[in-house]
Chain A
Amino acid sequence: GDSVTQMEGPVTLSEEAFLTINCTYTATGYPSLFWYVQYPGEGLQLLLKATKADDKGSNKGFEATYRKETTSFHLEKGSVQVSDSAVYFCALSDRGSNYKLTFGKGTLLTVNP
């Protein structure tokens, strides 16, 4: 079955530091890949997505590139802010699974001023 493995947290950084959260996946089909962000006490918000190999999703300074050869979708940001503190989930959606989302376990990011 499909699965997503992401870097375990928590991750603590200082403001303006570089962020990488690793995410790898296994899928039977050709999935779409997503990063979701969850702020405390809230639901999930889509941060970015990519639907085919070599696509780069980007939003709010975050980027991730769909790497089919390494089955990876690592999240990066060049300079994090305190407001980026949240839990980040990597996920995939596979047409063969009726578009169900398979989530990673989530990575808690804390950015200190």
Chain B
Amino acid sequence: GAVVSQHPSWVICKSGTSVKIECRSLDFQATTMFWYRQFPKQSLMLMATSNEGSKATYEQGVEKDKFLINHASLTLSTLTVTSAHPEDSSFYICSAISSFLGSYNEQFFGPGTRLTVL
């Protein structure tokens, strides 16, 4: 149980285009989802926290107009990288927690999405 999926697993796009990444909780309702960015050989950097039905809370230094996050349902959150540029190339990972599960403080991670902007 507690499986989180991401789609796509990798994407290549041209500079200036927008890319949408989906994060789904497959077998539980996610009250909160997190989006992380990971640069090569580095730790995860939290970008934003999203709660179902409300606006995302962005970490300091993260451009909310560039990284649009929508958490429209209890099983789906999306991250849209708008007007992508090569410096946005990275590994994006989502995670989810649920107040309905016993382990309310445990985040369940998706497998990640590799974004390459040409």
If A42-B112, A89-B44, A106-B43 touch, does A101 touch B93 (CB 8 Å cutoff)? no
A59 to chain B, nearest CB (A): 13
Contact A42 B111 (CB under 8 A): yes
- The interface bits of chain B over 78-118 (1 if a CB of A lies within 8 angstroms of the residue's CB, else 0) are 00000000000000010101000000111111111010000
Other-chain contact of B105, A32, A42, A43 (Cβ < 8 Å): A32
Other-chain contact of B44, A32, A42, A93, A103 (Cβ < 8 Å): A103
Most buried by B among A41, A49, A105: A41
Knowing A43-B110, A44-B93, say if A95 contacts B43 (CB, 8 Å): no
Chain B interface SS verdict (over half): strand
Task: Select the residue from A42, A45, A104 with max chain B CB neighbours within 10 A.
Answer: A42
Q: How far is the CA of A86 from the CA of B41 in the complex (A)?
A: 11
Q: What is the interface residue range for chain B against chain A?
A: 20 to 34
CB neighbours of A105 from chain B (8 A): 42-43
Query: Beyond the given A93-B106, A101-B95, could you list 18 further A-B residue pairs with CB under 8 A, ordered by the A residue number?
Result: A32-B106, A42-B112, A43-B6, A43-B110, A44-B44, A44-B95, A44-B109, A46-B109, A51-B105, A93-B105, A95-B105, A99-B97, A99-B107, A100-B34, A101-B34, A101-B46, A104-B43, A106-B42
Chain A interface residues toward B at CB < 8 A: 32, 34, 36, 41-46, 49, 51, 89, 93, 95, 98-101, 103-106, 108
29 A-B contacts, Cβ less than 8 Å apart? A32-B106, A34-B106, A43-B6, A43-B93, A43-B109, A43-B110, A43-B112, A44-B44, A44-B93, A45-B109, A46-B106, A46-B109, A51-B105, A89-B43, A89-B44, A93-B105, A93-B106, A93-B107, A99-B32, A99-B104, A99-B107, A100-B34, A100-B49, A101-B34, A101-B95, A101-B107, A103-B44, A106-B42, A106-B43
